[in-house]
Structure 1
Amino acid sequence: MTDRRPLLFTLAGGVATLVYFGAAEFIAGAFSATTAPLLILGQAIIPLTPTAMIKAAISVFGTNDKLALIITLVIVGAAVGGVIGRIGLRRRTLSFVLLIGLGILPVFLLLSTGGALLDSIPALGGVALGCAAYMGLISLGDGRELRSEDSASTDRSADFDGRPGTDRRAFFGLAAGLSAVGIAAIAAGQSASILARNAAGAVTKLVLPRPAASAPEIPAGADLDIDGLAPIMTPNDDFYRIDTALIPPSVDASSWSLHIHGMVEDEVTITMAELLDLPLEEHRVSLTCVSNQVGGDLVGNATWLGYPVRDLLKRAKPSADADMVLSTSDDGFTASTPLEVLTDDRASLLAVGMNGEPLPRDHGFPARLVVPGLYGFVSATKWVTELEVTRFTDKEAYWTKRGWATHGPVLVASRVDVPRAGDHASPNKDGQIITAGMAWAQHVGIAEVQVRIDNGDWHTAELSKELTTDTWRQWRCPFNNLEPGTHTVTVRAVDADGNVQISERRPAIPGSATGLHDRQFVVD
C-alpha cells in the first residue's frame, strides 16, 4: 500500500493555517481590524516588496491590489503551513513549535511598532485553534498507511493500521469542513473590516464651512453625455485609491494638526479648527496615479475644498536654499514635492473636502495634499501631518528610495472609452460609428485629440468644454462608412504647449507608462 501520511500531514498543516487566519480575523472583529494577522503581515511586507513587483501588482489588479495581497498571503501561509505539517510526520514537537512560531510572528511585528499586548489576542487565539485543528487532523492521519478504496476488506472502522474509528472519509471530511470555516471566517473578517472602516469614516465627518471662493459652475458642453464615457466629475465612491495602507488610518480630526518645519525661519503648526477658520477655496483638479497603465482608470476628477499650500508655506518663510517639501502621512508614508510647485500660482491645496463632502477616509480624512500637474506619488499625500522644507539632495521619499523619479510631472495622455474592447457597434441613424474617450495633461491643458481607425489618417476629435487646465477633457470622434468586421481605434492627445502624446511603449517605472491606447471592436 502507498503511504499517504505525508499528504495527510501536509494537508493538516495547510488547513490548520487557514483555521488560524480565519479565527484570528473573526476575533479581531471584536477588537480592531488593525489587530488581524493578515493586516499586520501585509503592512509589514509592503515596504519590503520590490518596486517591480508592486508595479506589476497595480498593473494587473489596479485598485484591487490590496485584496490580491491578502489572498496571496493566505495562499502562501497555507503553503508554509503545509510544509510545517509535513515535518510533523517525523518530528511532531518541531512541527508544533514552527506552527506556533508562524502564528505569533504577527505579534512580534505588532509589538515592535508600538502595539499593545492586548492587541495580540486575535493572533494568540488563532494559534490555539489552529494547533487544535492540526492535532485533530493528524490524530486521524497517524496510521502507517491508508487503505485504498478498492481494499478487499470491508471493515470501514479500521482504515489506519487497524485503529478503530478512523477512515479516509473522516479525515478529508474534517479537513474540508475546517478549510471552509477558515476561508469563510477570513472573508467575513475582511468584510467586517470594510464595514467598520466605512462606519468610522461616516462618524468622523466634519462640518465644512462654505468656501470663500467657490469653483465656477460646470459649463454646458463640459460633459458630452455619451453612454459608456466616464463622467466629467468622478463620484467619491468611484475615485481610484492607490496607497501603501492596507486599512486607511483612522485620524481624529479634533486632535489632528499639520506641522511645517525644516529649512524655514518660523515653524508653523495648524490645527483643524484653525484650518477651517481660514478662507477655503474650491478647485477642480484631476489626479493621476503614476502606476496608471496606457488606457487605465487610475485617474479621476473632483472638486476639492482646501487652503492654498503656498499661503501656509509663506507663514513659515522657507529658506532660499530649499527646493523640496517632504510631506509625511499619519501612517509614515512620505512624498517629495518640488517647492516651486507648491509656491507658484497653481491650485495646490491642503484639502479637507471632496465633491462637496468632507474627505472620505479612503481619500485622506481629515486632510490631504492636492497638487495639479504631478503624479500622486510625489504630491498627493493623504492623512498628511507634516511638511518638511528641505532639499532633494538631503532627503528621499518613500518611492524615491525604491528607484522612482523624484519630480513626477504628469505626461499628456488619452484613452478610448467607447466602444469597449470587443464591442459590436452598429452605425447610428446618420450612418456613423461614434468613438469617445478622455484626455488629460494636468496644469498644461489639452489642446487637441486625434483619432484613427486601423492604420488610416488621423482625424481631429471634438473636445468637451474645458473646466480648467488642471482637469481632464472628454473627446468624441464619429466615423462614416466603416466596413463590417473588426477594426482598431487609436487615440493620441496634444497638450497646450504642443507636446504630442508619446507613442513609444514603456513601463511605468520610473516615471509613468507611455504609449497610445487602442481598442478593437466589431462593426455589424
Structure 2
Amino acid sequence: MGVSTISPPGPATARRSAGIAGLLAAALTLTVGHLVAAIIDPDASPFIALGGAVVDATPTWLKDFAASTFGTADKAVLFLCMALVAAALAYGIGLLAVKRPTAAAIAVVVLAGVCGVAAMGRAGTGMLAWLPALVGAGAGVIALRAMVETLNGPREDTGDELDEPSRDAGGPDRRSFMRSATVVGVVAVASAVTGVIVSAARSTASRARDLLQLPAPAVPAPPLPDGVASATEGVEPFVTPNDDFYRIDTALIVPDVDPAAWTVRVHGLVENEVELNLDDLLARDLIETHVTLTCVSNPVGGDLIGNALWLGLPIREVLAEAVPLPEADMVLSRSIDGFTASTPIEVLTDDRDAIFAVGMNGEPLPTEHGFPVRMVVPGLYGYVSATKWVVELEVTRFADATAYWTDRGWSERGPIKTASRISVPRPSAHVSAGDVAVGGAAWAQHRGIAKVELQVDEGPWEEATLAAEATVDTWRQWSWTWTDAQPGQHTLRSRAYDPDGVQTSTVEGVIPDGATGWHTIYVYVD
C-alpha cells in the first residue's frame, strides 16, 4: 500500500495565500490602530483620519457628484471605496512580501505614516495622534512577516516519512500558514470588537444627551395652523422626524462632545469677547422656531431638505453683547472638527430666528445633528450657516477670511433659492387613468411662497392649492388634482413663486451656489 500524499500547491495558490496574508495584516493594522485611538484619542483612528484627509482633498465636482448621487449615504460610499483601495494595496503588499519582505514592511510603514500625518492634521487631536498608526503598523508588519515565513522558509525534516506532507521541500507550509492566518484574523476581530466597546464606554455625548433636561422656551413657537400639511396622501410630513432628517457634513465620525466641557467663544472684530458654556446658554431666554434647512448640494427635486422645530438662543443677543466693530461684515463659525462657515453678519443680527440650537423636535439635539449646540439660520444654505458642534464665532470680514467650502470654489454667500418639488407621484410611477392626486412642497426661506403651478406635458400651467403657511422660514406644502389623465407617458412640471416672482427655469447645477430649474418628472398612466 502506498503512502498518501497531497499535491503541492501551485504558484497561483501560493500567490493567493500571499495576498490573503496582506489583507489580514492590513486588517490587523487598522483594527489595532483603531483600538489604540479609542483608548488615547478617538479622532486619531488611522482609517478615519485618512478618510478625513481624502474628503478635504477631493475635488469639488466629485463631492458634488457624491452628494447629489448618494445623498446621506455619501460617507458610507466613501468608506466602501477606501476599503476597496486599501484591500487592493494590502493584497499587493502581500505579494511583494513573498519576494521582498523588507520592501513590503517599508510599504506598510509608509502607508501608516500617511495615516499618522493625516491624524496629526485633524482638528482637536492631541500630541499622540501619530501613535495609533505607528502601533497598528508594527502589529501589521509582525503579522505579515509571520504569515509570509510559512510561505517561504523550508520545513524542518522530522524523519517521520509517514507524516502527510503539507508542502514540498522549500514550498509553502499550508498548515502553518492557516494557523498563523487564523491567529491574525482572530486578533484583528478581537481588536475591532474591543475598540467598539472602548469607544462606547468613553462616549460622553450619548450619555449626557440622555440625561439633559431642556428648559421650557421663554418664547414658544406659535401653534401650527390647521391645514399646514398637503392634502395629497403620501407627501412627506410637514415636520421631518429627527431620524429622517438629512445629514450632510464633513465629519466621517460624529464628534463626541462633552457638554460639560463645551463652550462657544465669540471674538475677533468685537469690543468684548464673549464665552458661554452650556449652562450659561440654557439659563438664557430660549425661543422655539420652525425652520426648514436645505443643503446647497440638493439637486432640483432632491430630498436634502428637512423642516424641524428648533429650540435655542438667538445669536443676535450674543453678538450684541460682543459689540461687533463697524467694519465687520462676516461671522466665521467653527465646528469642533475644524469645519468653518462664513455667514453675513447682517443675517445673524436682524430679526430672523438665527439661533444656537440645543433642541430639535422637542428633544436635545441628536449627536449626529450637532449635540450639544449647532447653528440654525433661516434663509441660507447650510454650508454658510448651519455649523454643527459649534465652538467658535469669529467676527471678521469677507475680505480677510474664507471658509471650508468657499476655499473649494463655492460662493461665499449662500441665500436659498426659490424651489418646488413634486413628491407624489414619484418619478416613473404608474398611476391609473382618470383623476390623479399630485402633491409636494415649495420653499423660499425667509421670503415665503406665494403660489405653485403645475404643468402636464406642454399644456397650460394650473395653480395648485397651497397648504397653510406656518412661517416664511418653512417650506409650504401644496396639492393639485390632475383631472382626466389619459393613458401613456406624460411629463409633469412644477414651479413656485415667491413675493418677487416665479422661480427661474434656467437649469444650473449645485455649484457654486445651489441648483436651479423646474422640477420635471415622467409618469405612466395605465
Q: TM-score, normalised by structure 1?
A: 0.86
Deviation, 1:19, is 3.9
Aligned partner of 1:152 in structure 2 is none
Change (3 A) 1:42 1:401: same
Shift of 1:286: 0.4
Q: CA deviation at 1:33?
A: 4.6
User: How far is the alpha carbon of 1:479 from its aligned partner?
Assistant: 1.0
Classify 1:165/1:41 alpha carbon distance in 2 versus 1 (closer, same or farther; 3 Å): closer
Task: Provide the C-alpha distance between the structure 1 equivalents of 2:81 and 2:195, rounded to a whole number of angstroms.
Answer: 14
What SS class does the counterpart of residue 446 from structure 1 fall into? coil
Deviation, 1:225, is 5.2
Q: 1:127 and 2:140 equivalent? A: no
Which of 342, 349, 360 is equivalent to 2:348? 342
Alignment partner, residue 316 of structure 1: 322
Alignment of 1:97-496 (within 5 A): 97-103=106-112, 105-111=114-120, 115=125, 123=133, 126-139=136-149, 141-142=151-152, 157=165, 163=171, 165-166=173-174, 200-204=205-209, 206-224=212-230, 226-426=232-432, 431-496=434-499
Shift of 1:348: 1.2
Tell me what 1:44 maps to. Answer: 53
Could you tell me how far apart the structure 1 residues matched to 2:272 and 2:230 are? 49
Alpha-carbon deviation of 1:285? Answer: 0.6
Contact 1:432 1:480 in 2 (8 A): yes
Separation (CA, whole Å) in 2 of partners of 1:515 and 1:180: 52
Structure 1 contact 160–166 (Cα < 8 Å) conserved: no
- Secondary structure in structure 2 of the residue aligned to 1:326: strand
* Contact 2:33–2:136 (CA under 8 A) maintained in structure 1: yes
Distance 1:165 1:358, change over 3 A: closer
3-state SS, counterpart of residue 88 of structure 1: helix
Does 469-478 or 249-258 show the bigger shift? 249-258
| 1:265 CA displacement | 1.9
Is the Cα contact below 8 Å between 2:204 and 2:258 reproduced in 1?
no
Q: TM-score, normalised by structure 2?
A: 0.86
In 1, the alpha carbon distance for the partners of 2:299 and 2:120 equals 38
Q: 2: CA distance between counterparts of 1:191 and 1:213?
A: 41
- From the superposition, tell whether residues 505 and 141 of structure 1 become closer, same or farther in structure 2 (CA, over 3 Å): farther
Contact (CA 8 Å) 1:19, 1:181: kept in 2 or not? Answer: no
Measured in 2, the distance between the counterparts of 1:301 and 1:183 equals 43
Which runs of 5 or more residues in structure 1 are unaligned?
145-154
Kindly provide the CA deviation profile for residues 201-230 of structure 1, in whole angstroms up to 9, marking residues without a partner as x. Answer: 343353221111111111110012543211
1:442 Cα shift?
0.4
Give distance in 1, aligned partners of 2:315 and 2:521. Answer: 40
C-alpha distance in 2 between matches for 1:86 and 1:19: 17
Tell me what 1:514 maps to.
516
Aligned to 2:157: none
Q: Percent identity, please.
A: 45
**Displacement of 1:2 after TM fit?**
8.2
Aligned to 1:69: 78
**Residue 377 of structure 1, CA deviation:** 0.7
Tell me the equivalent position of 1:79: 88
Following superposition, the deviation at residue 306 of structure 1 comes to 1.4
Matched AA of 2:47: L
SS at match of 2:62: helix
Which deviates further from its counterpart, 368-377 or 43-52?
Answer: 43-52
Spell out, residue by residue over 1:313-371, the C-alpha distance to the aligned partner (whole angstroms, 9 max, x if none): 12222222211111111222111111111111211112221111122221122222111
* Paired residues of 1:141 and 1:160 also in contact (CA < 8 A): no
Change (3 A) 1:363 1:521: same
1:422 positional shift: 3.0
Moved more, 134-143 or 500-509: 134-143
Structure 1 residues 461 and 157: CA distance shift in structure 2, 3 A: farther
Q: CA deviation at 1:451?
A: 1.3
Deviation, structure 1 residue 449: 1.1
**Deviation at residue 189 of structure 1 after TM alignment:** 8.4
Q: Is the 8 A contact 1:417 1:436 kept in 2?
A: yes
Question: In the alignment, which residue of structure 1 is the partner of 2:105?
Answer: 96
Per-residue CA distance 1:442-492 (angstroms, 9 max, x = gap): 001111111122332222111111100100011111112212233232211
Q: Show the counterpart of 2:503.
A: 501
Partners of 2:217 and 2:388 in 1: CA distance: 21
Shift of residue 141 of structure 1? Answer: 4.4
Give the CA RMSD over aligned residues. 3.3
Q: What is the one-letter code of the residue matched to 2:368?
A: D
Give the Cα–Cα distance (whole angstroms) in 2 for the partners of residues 292 and 310 of structure 1. 28
Aligned counterparts of 1:492 and 1:194: Cα–Cα separation in 2: 48
Is the contact between residue 21 and residue 182 of structure 1 (CA under 8 Å) also seen in structure 2?
Answer: no
1:19–1:182 Cα contact (<8 Å) kept = yes
Deviation at 1:378, TM superposition (A): 0.7
- Range that drifts further, 41-50 or 211-220: 41-50
Question: Matches of 2:190 and 2:76 in 1, distance apart?
Answer: 15
Amino acid at match of 1:96: A
Count of paired positions:
507
Q: Name the CA shift for 1:513/1:193 in 2 (closer, same or farther; >3 Å).
A: farther
Contact in 1 for aligned 2:369/2:388 (Cα 8 Å): yes
Q: Distance in 1 between matches of 2:508 and 2:195?
A: 36
Distance 1:103 1:110 in 2: 10
Residues 164/142 of structure 1: CA separation in 2 closer, same or farther (3 Å cut): closer
Q: Would you say the 8 A contact 1:433–1:479 is kept in 2?
A: yes
* Cα contact 1:22–1:181 (8 A) shared by 2: no
Does the C-alpha gap of structure 1 residues 193 and 47 become closer, same or farther in structure 2, counting only changes over 3 Å?
farther
CA contact (8 A) 1:438 1:473 kept: yes
Deviation string, structure 1 residues 92-117 (Cα, Å, up to 9, x no partner): 21112222332354344435657457
Return the offset for 1:413.
1.0
